[in-house]
Amino acid sequence: MTELSWGQWDWPLTLSQPERAFLEMLDELPSNESFHQADMIMQGAVNFSPRRLQKLLGDCDSIKVKRLFFFFADRHRHAWLNRLDKDVIDFGKGKRMLVKGGRFDPVYSITVPEDMYADQ
């Protein structure tokens, strides 16, 4: 988290770092955010910090968020992905259906929209 002064009275404005903001966005899928939006943001996430991500993912309680994060990260194959230790991340057990009529991803046991596989 970062705090900035904002406005003519220098009100404190608390902002999430990019890595945390992305995880927060994934928590809103699929009800308030779209898979396409998350995919486009991950595509441009070349400067994510692996150290910060490792800590955030380790502290994250949402199985859905962790599985989605690695689903999108694997999809875009960023260089920082190799520096994350998946073995210490709790991915939970069981399947998660995030969208009806989607495609099941066997690696992360989540159902995602079919179009996430269109260009692979």
Cα separation of 27 and 80, whole Å? 22
Tokens of 76: 């875009």
CA distances from 103 to 7, 45, 107, 116, 119 (A): 46, 24, 12, 9, 14
pTM: 0.88
pLDDT single digits (tens) 15-74: 789 999 999 999 999 999 999 999 999 999 999 999 999 999 999 999 999 999 999 999
